[in-house]
Amino acid sequence: MIRTSLFGAAGAVALCSAAYAHVTLERKEAPVGASYKAVLRVPHGCDGSATVALRVRIPQGYLNVKPMPKPGWKLEVKRGTYVKPASLGEAKVSEGVIEVDWSGGNLPDAYYDEFVLTGTIGDDMAAGQTMYFPVVQECEKGVHRWIEMPANTDREPPEPAPALKLLPKG
């Protein structure tokens, strides 16, 4: 009986691990117009190989982005012009951070870590929409491109981009 319980628990853990085998956001919902701390959770490397870089493309409407430095990792922030100006309070913002790159670190496949950004969700974003944070995870051997957005199906793509559901202003 104990053996059955242990195997049942191990199976449940294996299924949970498979469900969270990609880069995800810690908080998956946030209100429009609010500040939002995007915590990107990296649960594994690439087929046993350590993660050595993580690149995040900043979605349209996520403004005033500031990344958190990580000891042992080089941080690069790329700025540019937005596809369309965004509203942040009374101001219209037309440029800002468009990509954040952490590189030169070493996150072994057997370990988990988090990469953090703070910013504000623009006032002109629509509640009910989903904001995607495409991520490229580079490893010593291999790469995962967590950039896919779901099509109009119930199936999740093989390498989904981390998703944030936008809630009404609070």
User: What are 95-152's pLDDT values in tens digits?
Assistant: 999 999 999 999 999 999 999 999 999 999 999 999 999 999 999 999 999 999 987 7
Per-residue pLDDT tens over the stretch 158-167: 899 999 999 9
Q: 3: pLDDT confidence band, cut at 50, 70 and 90? A: very low
Angle at 29 between CA 26 and CA 32, to 5 degrees: 130
pLDDT at 82: 93
Find where tokens 């988990």 sit: 112
Tokens at residue 9, please?
A: 């628990």
Count of CB atoms situated within 10 Å of the CB of 16? 10
Per-residue pLDDT tens over the stretch 68-96: 999 999 999 999 999 989 888 888 999 99
Sheet holding 163-167, edge to edge: 29-31, 163-167, 130-132
| CB crowding 125-147: b at 16 or more within 10 Å, else e | beeeeebbbbbbbbbeeeebebb
Q: How much is the average pLDDT of 19-39?
A: 90
pLDDT at 15: 34
Q: Is the pLDDT of residue 17 over 50?
A: no
In sequence order, which residues have a C-beta less than 8 Å from that of residue 31 and are 6 or more positions away?
121, 127, 166, 167, 168, 169, 170
pLDDT at 150: 83
Find where tokens 């995870």 sit: 137
Q: 153: pLDDT confidence band, cut at 50, 70 and 90? A: low
Q: How much is the average pLDDT of 10-24?
A: 51
